[in-house]
Amino acid sequence: SAELMHGKRGLIMGLANDKSIAWGIAKACADAGATLAFSYQGDALKKRVEPLAASVGSDIVLPCDVDDEESIDALFAALQEKWGKLDFIVHAIGFSDKSELRGRYVDTSRQNFLTSMDISVYSFTAVVKRAEKMMTEGGSCLTLTYYGAEKVMPHYNVMGVAKAALEASVRYLAEDLGKDNIRVNAISAGTIKTLAASGIGDFRLIMKWNEYNSPLRRTVTQEEVGKSALYLLSDLGSAVTGEVLHVDAGYHVVGMKAVDAPDI
């Protein structure tokens, strides 16, 4: 209902196009009555993000490259001026050199390891640190992670290591900010065909594998991630913090799926 997020103001980071997970979350929040601001990376994305933002009634669209502290400061200074207070943030950002999202993890370069950790892990902490100051009446912070943090997935490589660190940071941030009623959670999303995902080797095969092997026998949509995000971002999740919620059609619980076994 449009009541759930009525009066809540939230920042959505990581919208690239209408396939982005950030878009599924933004729509769910807007449908529930939230007022949204968006940040985008680089001028090329501005013209994509502006019309999407407008379609959910938002005219606050600001640049932010999370590898740059000044850029993050400028984003929050602008939000402080426009809104003064903030109720939630969504961090749907990750990056790794796509030439290292195939082949062996052991071949990861030092430079790409550091870049992947910087943009995919530290940026969430950097953003939460700024958001904390504006969440004067409590708040909810959400990031996106993937099963490759927990188990080895083909080609995910350094991103798996980065997501493991991101999930650990969710727990530490939850403890730091809990005293101020600011909750920090992650959604571990099933595979969804997005711009970022298309950089991962054999992504189509991984999607198919999820479809065949998850308990629900399918993949998930950005709308479904949006619905679960709404739970964590709204009062429905008021006692939930430090959590990694799997929105993956149940894929993470399966050791081996039941099949009609031939005579073994």
Residues annotated as part of the active site: 146, 156
Cα 93 to Cα 262: distance, rounded to the nearest angstrom: 44
Buried b / exposed e across 203-212, counting CB within 10 Å, b at 16+?
Answer: beebbebbbe
User: Residue 207 half-sphere exposure, CB side, CA atoms within 13 Å?
Assistant: 14
CA pseudo-torsion sign 26, 28, 30, 34: negative
Q: Is residue 25 at the binding interface for ligand NAD, with CB under 6 A as the rule?
A: no
Tokens of 42: 């680089």
Q: Is residue 41 at the binding interface for ligand NAD, with CB under 6 A as the rule?
A: yes
Stretch of 99-107, 173-181, 184-192, 209-217 contacting ligand NAD, by CB under 6 A:
184-192
Cα 207 to Cα 193: distance, rounded to the nearest angstrom: 8
Stretch of 62-70, 75-83, 150-158, 175-183 contacting ligand NAD, by CB under 6 A:
62-70
Q: Is residue 65 at the binding interface for ligand NAD, with CB under 6 A as the rule?
A: yes
Q: Which of 5, 28, 29, 66 binds ligand NAD (CB under 6 A)?
A: 66
Q: Is residue 20 at the binding interface for ligand NAD, with CB under 6 A as the rule?
A: yes
Q: Is residue 16 at the binding interface for ligand NAD, with CB under 6 A as the rule?
A: yes
Q: Is residue 196 at the binding interface for ligand NAD, with CB under 6 A as the rule?
A: yes
Stretch of 75-83, 89-97, 98-106, 234-242 contacting ligand NAD, by CB under 6 A:
89-97
Stretch of 76-84, 86-94, 150-158, 238-246 contacting ligand NAD, by CB under 6 A:
86-94
Residue of 229, 224, 239 lying closest to 34 (CA atoms): 229
Nearer to ligand NAD, 118 or 178 (CB): 118
Nearer to ligand NAD, 6 or 204 (CB): 204
Q: Which of 195, 205, 216, 254 binds ligand NAD (CB under 6 A)?
A: 195
Buried b / exposed e across 76-108, counting CB within 10 Å, b at 16+?
Answer: bebbeeebeebbbbbbbbbbbeeebbbeeeeeb
In the complex, the smallest distance separating the C-beta of residue 263 from ligand NAD, rounded to whole angstroms, is: 38
Binders of ligand NAD among residues 118 to 147 (CB under 6 A) are 119, 144-146
Q: Which of 5, 11, 12, 21 binds ligand NAD (CB under 6 A)?
A: 21
Question: 65: exposed, middle or buried (C-beta count within 10 Å: 0-12, 13-18, 19+)?
Answer: middle
CA 91 to chain centre: 5
**Orientation of helix 69-82 relative to helix 123-134, angle to 10°:** 20
Q: Tell me, what amino acid is at 25?
A: I
Query: ∠ CA(63), CA(64), CA(66), 5° rounding?
Result: 165
In the complex, the smallest distance separating the C-beta of residue 14 from ligand NAD, rounded to whole angstroms, is: 4
Q: Which of 38, 95, 124, 251 binds ligand NAD (CB under 6 A)?
A: 95
Q: Which of 29, 72, 93, 232 binds ligand NAD (CB under 6 A)?
A: 93
Tokens of 147: 């099963």
**Residues interacting with ligand NAD, by CB under 6 A?**
14-16, 20-22, 41, 45, 64-67, 92-95, 119, 144-146, 189, 191-192, 194-197
